[in-house]
């Protein structure tokens, strides 16, 4: 891994962390941050940036097609539910995890489209 790839990985982690913070704050209506919540957001962002593309490419290598995309989203929902939603004041935790994941994926698509249009770099290749 050279320096440019490391910089892109760090930028992607920061962007995905901000995206998950915004989506969780919208769902939970709580815009406050503390140390454990920041660490939870960073862990979810690390899983989203590093682990999910590995699972998706593994599913694509065994010719699962769009099932790999569904598998990646299910993994994201499970990770968000058990790591991030624990800190949010919501009544239905699974529904909140699904909504946070949907908002995050939509924002990731927007950030990826803007980065490809402006800089011609695919910054976030999660989904």
- Model confidence at 124, in pLDDT bands (50, 70, 90)? low
The pTM of the full predicted model, rounded to 2 decimals, is 0.87
Percent of the chain with pLDDT over 90: 42
Query: For residue 76, which of 100, 93, 40 has the smallest C-alpha distance?
Result: 100
Contacts of 36 (CB under 8 A, 6+ apart): 87
The mean pLDDT value of the chain amounts to: 87
- Model confidence at 115, in pLDDT bands (50, 70, 90)? confident
- Summarised one tens digit per residue, pLDDT across range 66-104 is 787 888 889 999 999 999 998 888 889 999 999 999 999
Query: In whole angstroms, what is the distance from residue 124 CA to residue 106 CA?
Result: 12
Domain range annotation of the chain: 14-25+34-118
């Amino acid at each position: 891994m050279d320096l440019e790839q490391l910089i892109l990985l760090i930028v992607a982690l920061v962007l995905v962390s901000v995206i998950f913070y915004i989506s969780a704050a919208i769902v939970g209506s709580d815009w406050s941050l503390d140390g454990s919540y920041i660490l939870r957001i960073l862990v979810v962002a690390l899983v989203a940036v590093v682990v999910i593309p590995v699972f998706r490419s593994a599913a694509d290598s065994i010719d699962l097609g769009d099932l790999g995309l569904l598998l990646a989203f299910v993994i994201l929902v499970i990770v968000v539910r058990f790591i991030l939603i624990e800190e949010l004041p919501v009544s239905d935790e699974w529904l909140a995890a699904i909504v946070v994941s949907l908002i995050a994926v939509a924002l990731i698509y927007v950030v990826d489209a803007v980065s490809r249009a402006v800089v011609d770099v695919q910054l976030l290749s999660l989904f």
